[in-house]
Structure 1
């Protein structure tokens, strides 16, 4: 453990974390930086005092959209805002013709899969993640996959999936919710990318993003356009919108302002630290932990290279002992799931391994 960092790359940006807490549950919900929490408290106080700062709310929406675009290596004109991943996916599902084949990975997260299943008239085909690229065939309309699997942290072979889709004329939809913020990604490599902000982006529930590659706008249903999708939302918010935005803003949902106040601050911090630096930090910790549990006779799922480590087969009562030791984690799909992010350090790895060694 001597080679592992004793502190996260963000310094004291998370000073509000309680002493004794080892937080390894970012895959469920990320922690807000101290400045994010302070900005949110100020916004709530202003709201309660009868002075909701709409200009600052709008500035936060603009800042978050632009920051997300930079983090995902795309232009701000290609980023739409939303509330949840499932509603953004629903816009894509609603635009598909009846009978269209949608290819997904077995056990992928429901918010990505269920909007297609809910149509009832689509050909939804599910295959093992490792075989997803090989399963694309003529007639496949869309390949939808999470960049990183929520249940166990496996990383999809996105280059192979993208190449297979291109070879067969299929479009691609990537859910980056378990990836953006630690795994370097380029949104423009895919036709659509969706992302919830409340995990690795350290944001809040109620804020999500959707990127749309030029030329694929026809793959989203216009039936969901609300007032914020107008070219000038505040000038035209009654009756039918006569002029939608010409950018991906035409797919905007009305923003959850307080959520954007939080997200704008958190995304700024991630930009300052840098996704490449976060990737190296997170994966180094996860790899050390993966090696440690394997050395104790409990091999983790997958081949590594992920910030998420899922360990099946641990003895009964281990989860309770970890919680008693101040470790926050999750149980998913029959395994214990540990997620390492920029507020974690080598001491967190050693603390969990120490509990496991103690039996």
Structure 2
């Protein structure tokens, strides 16, 4: 590779798009394309993301091929229809053009009150590609004339201020129209699987079209950038820097990666969990003979008090591992206090947060936790096959997982088995090629969540949960329930035959779930008060069975 390509290089594709590239592994990949003649090199300083206009050879900034490309992209977007879900102008490439081309004009803005967190001007990746204004990438125009065969019919304008009749700052009817399952089912099981949106489905169709028409070439000008886009979106949603977030195939893999990064240190071999944690969190340590596992019991079957953790955690503790929201009780734990308990004795704080993001506000740097897992499966409405792993910036360098992959390598496209060097950010915890289909549905779900805003989602979920608790209590059911201050949108209803009750509810087109001794109900922002009341009536009617 020429020395001119080893640090920072400006690449101009034959379609006229100009990109400044600084990440060494990305440059290595692009050098392969240079030699193949698919792109040409234009040397010079990379463009600043705040002054990203491609300049002509005389430095005037008045045109050239990049400007023509943007005009062409703009026309293409106009033909395909512009989605008002995406800001009209953004200082970084969200790569939403591909989705917009497939959504057509069907996506309409749900929210027009609170600021969109995607308008912060933060780049979606801090080391990859500095781009110009949004444009439709070549992979978004695979259909003739730049049009997609997949279009969503345009709906009415949706932005609305809150009113005395409805405190919501979005059009609920339009939001519900985003989720086809709601037209045929009373769906109250988001803590198991969030509903799939039309937004996510449109992105999935776009991905499939790119796969059909471009094959592996879509990796280089579309899919790698979307991985960066997803990392950036999720990191901002969690209040974290992009370089602290990694993609993982599942929470099990993410937890195992952290577990394999924390070798026992002399007598510091204790791991403290609780019996209310999801089993995967506990299993990571139960299979390790070098670990002394302490599983704290719950006296009330709902939560484990902070005092019990403080009593169990001492100088022998390697890890305090806990859940942000308990999956079988809905109790929201104070993870900031748990982190303080761990750090007071030099222990690592690992949090399984899969049931939290998307239903309650999360600001990870403010909590002080060392590692945190989440994912799009449930409240983020992105589907299975993907998880997110946050690692506190100060912890990344010292953690060297003993399970790894080529994605974790600092120079993955060198394909050099003789040497291995970890990436210097959270991507060192990644485990190979991600599930691209879920990456796309997750992007669709995350866009929707970002647009609604977590504060509005949380407020609506609290209102729905309060109505559900009141209705079930009035109907004579007994609930396993945290106090109001620690309550989430997971409600556990004691039942003598929960599996049978869930089956009979499905016959009435009502979808909930069951856990030992309980029917588990989990309303989300897209549910209605009428659906809550319908479920309560139906549960009374199916009666105690078994």
Aligned counterpart in structure 1 of residue 518 of structure 2, from 331, 335, 342? 335
Aligned counterpart in structure 2 of residue 31 of structure 1, from 170, 195, 207? 195
Instruction: Say whether 1:123 aligns with 2:292.
Output: yes
Look up the match of 2:349: 172
How far the C-alpha of 1:357 sits from its partner, in A, is: 3.9
Q: Tell me if structure 2 keeps the 8 A contact 1:227–1:241.
A: no
With a CA cutoff of 8 Å and minimum separation of 6, indicate the structure with the bigger relative contact order: 1
Instruction: Say whether 1:210 aligns with 2:396.
Output: no
Moved more, 244-253 or 6-15: 6-15
How do residues 1-359 of structure 1 correspond to structure 2 at under 5 angstroms?
8=172, 11-12=175-176, 14-17=178-181, 19-49=183-213, 51-52=215-216, 53-54=218-219, 55-98=221-264, 100-127=269-296, 128=298, 129-131=303-305, 132-134=308-310, 135-188=312-365, 189=367, 190-217=369-396, 220-233=399-412, 235-254=413-432, 255-303=434-482, 304=484, 305-313=487-495, 318-358=501-541, 359=543
Q: Tell me if structure 2 keeps the 8 A contact 1:9–1:273.
A: no
Measured on the aligned residues, the alpha-carbon RMSD in Å equals: 2.4
Q: Tell me if structure 2 keeps the 8 A contact 1:300–1:311.
A: yes
Q: Distance in 1 between matches of 2:204 and 2:291?
A: 42
Alignment size in residue pairs: 357
Q: Distance in 1 between matches of 2:402 and 2:503?
A: 47
Q: Distance in 2 between matches of 1:122 and 1:77?
A: 30
**TM-superposition CA deviations, 1:174-232 (whole Å, max 9, x none):** 11111111111122221000113211111122211111112323664432231112334
Moved more, 144-153 or 241-250: 241-250
How far the C-alpha of 1:13 sits from its partner, in A, is: 5.3
How far the C-alpha of 1:323 sits from its partner, in A, is: 1.6
Moved more, 155-164 or 213-222: 213-222
How far the C-alpha of 1:49 sits from its partner, in A, is: 4.8
TM-score (norm. length: structure 1): 0.91
**TM-superposition CA deviations, 1:14-63 (whole Å, max 9, x none):** 24225330111111111121110121123224324563522322122111
- SS of structure 2 residue aligned to 1:17: helix
Q: Distance in 2 between matches of 1:250 and 1:320?
A: 44
- SS of structure 2 residue aligned to 1:168: coil
Show structure 1 runs of 5+ residues with no match.
none
